Structure 1
Amino acid sequence: MQKPLFSILITTKNRIEELQFTLQKINNLLQREDVECIVFDDGSTDKTSEFVLKNYPKIKLYRNEKSKGLIFCRNKMLGITQAKFAISLDDDAHFVSENPLEEIEKAFTTNPNCGVLAFRIFWSKQPLLATHTNQQQKRVQGFVGCGHAWRLESWKKTPNYPEWFVFYGEEEFAAYELFKKDIEIQYTPQILIQHRVEVATRKHQPDYTARLRRSLRAGWFLYFMFFPWQSIPKKILYSMYMQIKIKVIKGDYKAALALGLAIFDVFIYFPKLMRNSNRFSSVEMNKFLSLPETPIYWKPQNE
């Protein structure tokens, strides 16, 4: 059997309605002979697997009976696929731009030293009425998990995402490892996805403290693993200061709890951070930081 050119990788857990919407939106891509789709059901209890098996027989379905986490699933899917290009989509994200696969192939072909494409991302549950952008493709520091594409050849040259991060930080980890190997990440605004999330509402969701804890600790983990020693104290202290300034002193006590738990995590994981470090020299760090920052949020009015 001929290997697929593209593989669309989706991890999901107990979000069957979001997954249904995403699969419907990309259904035209799933019908192509050069495309495979892998869905990893990470221990859902809402009959996600049954839905996929019944309605999308061409999809390669994998399942954890007990949840093992987003990063575990992404590592597994990237290890399973034999495609040349692997496209990572969240279960609540879909393509908006036309001909995204052709644009992905073109971007990789014209940039042979590129290992990852970072897509342009519109974050909202509301319909996107204007899609035009004046942004140009360029090399950047990193990429966002909800929408990007790997050249599988480059993935195989880097360590797997660190599953012990649990959630957050794995893309930055990969970005640092890619930079160490002089493999580029290209921001491709011609490839637009909509991530159906209202970021402002996350503060009021039950997992707010857990998300903030993991986000903070992931950043600090990466400092200890990759940054020159002399820069780490300043980086961490500034991070703490900003959390206290913009959240804690304004009465966000969940943020205070998350801050304390993240500090605790650094102490617990410190030996592991040292064992897995791949530290930049000061010259390497300055060169990396001279690249444009990772574009995360795009809105038409920003043009």
Structure 2
Amino acid sequence: MIKFSIVITTKNRINDLKFTLNSLNSLLEREDVELLIVDDFSSDGTQDFLKESYKKHTLIFNDKSLGLIYNRNVLNSLSKGNYVISLDDDANFLSDNVLENIEDYFLKNLECGVIACRIFWSKNLPFKTASKNTPERVKGFVGCGHVWRKESWESIPEYPAWFQFYGEEDFASYQLFKKDIEIHYVPKILVHHRVDNKARKKTKDYNLRLRRSIRSGWYLYFLFYPKSKIPKKILYSIYMQLKSKVFKGDFRVLIALLQAKVDLFLNLPNIYKLKNRFTKKELKEYQKLSPTKIYWSPEK
């Protein structure tokens, strides 16, 4: 019987993927674990590598790029386990007894629908992995390291694939809150996300990432916030982009803001179909929750 489904979507990051899969080898030997991978039309040999080394597992090869969020919907829906473990292709576990800790936590906390892992972001390993953090209910979770209770995934609408990148976790978080299903930060489960955040600003896709980040926030306001709150939230987000980036010389943000505005207009029909607004009382209760734990650093 499959208890745990490990799901990964990848594109043109064969070396990162090899590292991640190698780190999972001991887990994949278990009969209660399945692995599902979507390759989003890679051109770096990823498909040949997977066909040769992981042919016993569920492999999906897109004949065109369909995007991260679309792929996550496919993986989560196809998974057979009670618990769906979502990892990025450049992320791996650093803690021990991961599967046992996942199952134990869900069994003891029936109100929890998603586990948000503790995540260390860096190309290098942390100088220590111990933490004084304790489990708590939080607003949301991070895509690179989280675990769904499968029945909770099935209880809400799937991720909006038209977001393309960014925002899908918040979308799910809002939907879960409306269903009285909780998200818990569980620091016992530590994930190493092997990225250099500072270097990302120098990559050629920085503008695209920024555009998608801004617009996803706006999509979420229109989908979930009471109408009276939306103008103020949009204006404040624009002000913060100007203050924190444009006024400090990053004029690329102006282009991203204009593009995000066009994207918002074009997706108004999608927003109308999916809108699920908070009441003012619900929004107030949601905002009382602890913020999403995105970055963890070792205590000095």
**Do both proteins adopt the same fold according to a TM-score greater than 0.5, normalized to the shorter chain?**
yes
Structure 2 Cα separation of the partners of residues 34 and 57 of structure 1: 18
Matched, 1:37 2:35: yes
Q: Which amino acid aligns with 1:223?
A: Y
Q: Which amino acid aligns with 2:253?
A: A
Q: What does residue 80 of structure 1 align with? A: 78
Q: What does residue 208 of structure 1 align with? A: 206
- Give the stretch that moved more between structures: 245-254 or 85-94: 245-254
Can you give the 5+ residue segments of structure 1 that lack an aligned partner in the other structure? none
Deviation at 1:266, TM superposition (A): 1.3
- 1:1-303 equivalences under 5 Å are 2=1, 4-301=2-299
Give secondary structure in 2 for the equivalent of 1:291: coil
Q: Does structure 2 retain, via aligned residues, the 8 Å contact 1:49–1:61?
A: no
- Give the stretch that moved more between structures: 181-190 or 23-32: 23-32
Q: Which amino acid aligns with 2:174?
A: Y
Structure 1 Cα separation of the partners of residues 286 and 199 of structure 2: 33
Deviation at 1:248, TM superposition (A): 0.8
Deviation at 1:251, TM superposition (A): 1.6
Q: Which amino acid aligns with 1:64?
A: N
Structure 1: 4+ residue segments shifted above 6 A? none
RMSD: 1.0
Can you give the 5+ residue segments of structure 2 that lack an aligned partner in the other structure? none
- Matched pairs, number: 300
Deviation at 1:240, TM superposition (A): 0.5
Give secondary structure in 1 for the equivalent of 2:201: helix
Q: Does structure 2 retain, via aligned residues, the 8 Å contact 1:41–1:49?
A: yes
Structure 1 Cα separation of the partners of residues 73 and 56 of structure 2: 21
Structure 2 Cα separation of the partners of residues 263 and 249 of structure 1: 20
Structure 1 Cα separation of the partners of residues 267 and 232 of structure 2: 20
Deviation at 1:239, TM superposition (A): 0.7
Deviation at 1:271, TM superposition (A): 2.7
Deviation at 1:65, TM superposition (A): 1.1
**So what's the TM-score if we normalise by structure 2?**
0.98
Deviations 1:201-230 (A, max 9, x none): 111100000000000000000000001111
Give secondary structure in 2 for the equivalent of 1:28: helix
**So what's the TM-score if we normalise by structure 1?**
0.97
Structure 1 Cα separation of the partners of residues 201 and 253 of structure 2: 9
- Give the stretch that moved more between structures: 266-275 or 149-158: 266-275
Deviation at 1:149, TM superposition (A): 0.4
Q: Which amino acid aligns with 2:38?
A: F
Q: Does structure 2 retain, via aligned residues, the 8 Å contact 1:52–1:59?
A: no
Q: Does structure 2 retain, via aligned residues, the 8 Å contact 1:97–1:192?
A: yes
Deviation at 1:56, TM superposition (A): 2.2
Give secondary structure in 2 for the equivalent of 1:204: coil
